Amino acid sequence: MGLTLLTTTLAIALILYPSDALAASLRGLDLWWEIVFPSLLPFFITAEFLIGFGVVHGLGALSERFMRPLFNVPGCGGFVWVMGMASGYPSGAKWTADLRKKGQVSRIEAERLVAFTNASSPLFIFGAIAVGFFHDASLGILIAIAHYGGNFLVGIGMRYYKRNEDVSTSDMRSSTWKDAFSKMHDSRLEDGRTLGKLMGDAVTRSVDTLLMVGGFIMLFSVLTELLKQTGAIHIFSHLLALTGLPAAFHVPFTAGMLELTTGIGAITETHEPLVAQLLIVSFILGFHGFSIQAQIASILAETDIRFKPYALARVAHGVIAAFLTYILYYAYRPFQTQTLPMWNPNENFTTPIIDFFNHYGPPITLMMIMLMIIVKWNNSQKIKNNPCEHET
């Protein structure tokens, strides 16, 4: 009944505010089309190749010696951890789900892994937040240390999650380079796909995942705008007032809990002290926002990995990152005397990398979608011409 009421309310709001909903949807589409898709796609396709060629298995054998003592996960989790930080969320969840489907991690190990392998990318922290919103590149170092340091500490804490119930799926022995290459070769033979088939699968699966991500970005962009237009977002202000949070942060914080990019931009527009803005931004980055959490929940739904451990880890990550930000801020004295330039939403702040995606992101996105359509069409023709080969 509750979900029916919420869906009906959303439909009525869309009818009452069509132009605002369209504008918000287009903002979400621009973000996905120009930045998210072209920046994440190379990582996704490369990861599919590395998994298909068995490289992850080989690296996992070598990473076992430090991933198991630190985080109590198999060595293959090291690949997910590094690639997740490099490419940004929801990459860590996608590759954790892939490892679980292939049986390389147990359910409990996967739940530990997904809790600390989803992080914001360096491009977003240094380019969008530090330069674009705070207009100060040096702040990117502080935010990044707090963000990635918080993720690391969450991973350390998750090593004790259901420790007594866990049944390890990995070999605890230290592997040599020879063992690693042997495992990589065996994994490649077990996969058995040709290069063409692997390439087609890599493109198709990567684009499918990113289409889902784009849908969630647009959906939550519209939800945030409708909450603002209807005034419903101010309801949360009364709840936040009980926490002692300054009134200027109530609406931006609520927006950030829904979709972090919108919320962070609004937070930096306030006239509150810089340290307060950094604390709220660090918490929101660690929490991820419900938009990203919904993306990850959708990915995990294809497996038996439970969402609750990840959700609890997000709260812990937000709190730890804010605490680290507070310590780092006062440890580095120049930040205290720094005046905060106001962020103008009509002014574009870009780095060379962001500028590249702004110019070449849309054509890259279009070409990859067309390639995916061609691959799927070819597969359908093969099934039609050779139906016996595809019987189950």
Instruction: Check whether 360 has a pLDDT greater than 60.
Output: no
pLDDT at 285: 93
> pLDDT grade, residue 342 (50/70/90)?
very low
- Tens of pLDDT, residue by residue over 191-238, are 677 777 888 888 888 888 788 888 888 888 888 888 888 877 777 777
Structure tokens at 367: 């070409």
Instruction: Check whether 184 has a pLDDT greater than 50.
Output: yes
Compute the distance between CA of residue 198 and CA of residue 196 in angstroms, rounded to an integer: 5
Residue bearing the bigger pLDDT, 375 or 288: 288
Compute the distance between CA of residue 371 and CA of residue 193 in angstroms, rounded to an integer: 19
What percentage of the chain has pLDDT greater than the value 90? 17
DSSP character string of 112-146: HHHHHS----HIIIIIIIIIIISS-TTHHHHHHHH
pLDDT at 377: 62
- Tens of pLDDT, residue by residue over 270-288, are 888 888 999 999 999 999 8
Instruction: Check whether 6 has a pLDDT greater than 90.
Output: no
Least confident stretch, 37-41, 215-219, 225-229, 261-265:
37-41
Contacts of 134 (CB under 8 A, 6+ apart): 268, 277, 340, 341, 343
Instruction: Check whether 315 has a pLDDT greater than 70.
Output: yes
Instruction: Check whether 267 has a pLDDT greater than 80.
Output: yes
> pLDDT grade, residue 179 (50/70/90)?
low
DSSP character string of 230-291: HTGGGHHHHHHHTTT--GGGHHHHHHHHH-HHHHHHHHTTS-S-HHHHHHHHHHHHHH-HHH
Residue bearing the bigger pLDDT, 175 or 313: 313
Q: Is the pTM of this model over 0.85?
A: no
pLDDT at 366: 63
pLDDT at 324: 94
> pLDDT grade, residue 369 (50/70/90)?
low
The one-character DSSP state at 34 is: I
Instruction: Check whether 148 has a pLDDT greater than 80.
Output: yes
pLDDT at 336: 47
pLDDT at 255: 85
Contacts of 172 (CB under 8 A, 6+ apart): 64, 68
